[in-house]
């Protein structure tokens, strides 16, 4: 998210320094599939990154249809791009390919980027932010933006964490039939499962209790795909292989406030959501783009001031709150201990499918935020 922000302010008459713990052209935690909404694509187009990504063979796979269902209950909703006059509802990209495209675009600007620098803490005074690095150095800035995915200790910012007691198992899954650009979101008693069409396979995000997830990483491939087919039931049962299995523990985390005088947080540093509905990256990109617009529009002397920060927090509040409550609400609604909600949930899914205005509002919020 830091690279997206730096790109969006690259033409401003400012001295911008980006500090990043990772090596250039790679992510810190390896590669995985990422669903980017149509709204996210529009931002990446404005940053000049989308064309580079799309030009790479297999780097971008459109999602034209999303099939939403629940295991062990009735009710299915299908969202289709052509109902909204869009080429696609979203796109699946490799996080590594996206990172490489962002890094390459940033390298063409005059922004100073220092890779391999570990930020330990950010202290603020009314005049400036002091960014302390692992090497014992300090960088002083009129405005510091924390985009570290975790919220490095920022003086005056409290971080709340609630463990979901769920782990996401990700893998690349091959099917006998092609994916036809259809994505699946299936709610199960152990958590949601998503299949994202990517290149010639599916990117799988399978939420499981931590102990089951640990076992699933070691299951023989045949067992893994048989279990997956059982979970998907009649929606999809032609899995033939699963490779590159890895896991991510899941928690809801958010910072309060998301900015203090001289320092603003964007992306997962501000809020880390459950991956259900693929909202986290898209929300973070809107944080970064909104902050960049505010930076580009403000007189340089006011950057990071109390009034500047208050405006940023206010502008992001509705989108952030919707993202937090929507994803957390979905996780709770479909939780295992709420099996008695199976019927109302089924009716809800069926109604959403049958009521185009409701579906339109829901889809627009998923694609663009409120």
Ligand X SMILES: Cc1cc2nc3c(=O)[nH]c(=O)nc-3n(C[C@H](O)[C@H](O)[C@H](O)COP(=O)(O)OP(=O)(O)OC[C@H]3O[C@@H](n4cnc5c(N)ncnc54)[C@H](O)[C@@H]3O)c2cc1C
Q: Give the footprint of ligand X on this chain (CB under 6 A).
A: 1, 19-22, 28, 34-35, 118-119, 147-150, 152, 168, 170, 205, 248, 267-269, 275, 278-282, 284
Q: Which is nearer to ligand X, 5 or 10 (CB)?
A: 5
Tracing tokens 């220092």 back to the chain, one arrives at 114
Residue 271 CB, nearest distance to ligand X (Å)? 8
Collapsing DSSP to helix, strand or coil, 91 comes out as: strand
Minimum CB separation of residue 344 from ligand X in Å reads 27
Q: Minimum distance between the CB of residue 282 and ligand X, rounded to whole angstroms? A: 4
CA 284 to chain CA centroid, Å, is 7
Preceding omega of 202 cis (within 30 degrees of 0): no
Q: Which is nearer to ligand X, 6 or 119 (CB)?
A: 119
Which of 179, 360, 166, 172 shows the shortest CA–CA distance to 275? 166
What is the smallest separation between the CB atom of 253 and ligand X, expressed in angstroms? 11
User: Toward ligand X, which CB reaches closer, 191 or 278?
Assistant: 278
Q: Output 75 or 147, the one with its CB closest to ligand X.
A: 147
Q: DSSP readout, 97-144?
A: HHHHHHHHHHHTSS-EEEET--EEEEEE-SS-EEEEETTS-EEEESSE
Return the bridge partners of 65, or none. Answer: 80, 182
Cβ-based nearer residue to ligand X, 144 or 298: 144
Q: How far is the CB of 21 from ligand X (least distance, A)?
A: 4
DSSP state of 89: S
Query: b/e string for 46-70 if b means 16 or more Cβ within 10 A?
Result: ebebbebbeeeeebbbbbbbbbbbb
């Amino acid at each position: 998210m830091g690279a997206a922000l730096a790109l969006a302010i690259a033409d401003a008459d400012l001295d911008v320094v980006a500090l990043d713990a990772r090596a250039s052209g790679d992510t810190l935690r390896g590669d995985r599939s990422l669903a980017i909404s149509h709204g996210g694509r529009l931002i990446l187009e404005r940053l000049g990154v989308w064309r580079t990504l799309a030009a790479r063979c297999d780097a971008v796979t459109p999602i034209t249809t999303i099939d939403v269902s629940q295991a062990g209950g009735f009710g299915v909703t299908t969202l289709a791009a052509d109902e909204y006059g869009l080429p696609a509802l979203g796109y699946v990209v490799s996080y590594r390919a996206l990172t490489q495209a962002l890094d390459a675009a940033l390298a063409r600007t005059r922004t100073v980027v220092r890779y391999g620098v570990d930020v330990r803490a950010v202290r603020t005074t009314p005049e400036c932010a002091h960014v302390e690095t692992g090497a014992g150095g300090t960088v002083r800035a009129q405005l510091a933006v924390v985009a570290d995915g975790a919220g490095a200790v920022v003086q005056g910012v409290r971080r709340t964490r609630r463990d979901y007691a769920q782990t996401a198992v990700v893998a690349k899954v091959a099917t006998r039939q092609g994916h036809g650009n259809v994505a699946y979101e299936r709610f199960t008693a152990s958590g949601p499962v998503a299949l994202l069409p990517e290149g010639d396979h599916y990117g799988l995000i399978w939420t499981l209790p931590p102990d089951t997830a640990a076992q699933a990483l070691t299951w023989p491939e045949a067992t893994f795909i048989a279990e997956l087919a059982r979970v998907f039931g009649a929606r999809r049962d032609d899995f033939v292989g699963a490779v590159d299995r890895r896991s991510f523990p899941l928690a809801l985390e958010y910072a309060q406030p998301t900015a203090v005088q001289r320092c603003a947080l964007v992306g997962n540093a501000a809020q880390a959501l459950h991956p259900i509905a693929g909202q986290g990256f898209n929300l973070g990109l809107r944080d970064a783009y909104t902050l960049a617009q505010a930076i580009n529009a403000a007189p340089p002397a006011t950057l990071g001031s109390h009034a500047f920060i208050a405006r940023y927090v206010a502008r992001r509040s509705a989108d952030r709150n919707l993202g937090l409550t929507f994803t957390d609400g979905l996780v709770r609604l479909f939780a295992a201990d709420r099996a008695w909600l199976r019927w109302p949930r089924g009716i809800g899914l069926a109604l959403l499918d049958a009521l185009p205005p409701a579906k339109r509002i829901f889809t627009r919020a998923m694609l663009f935020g409120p």
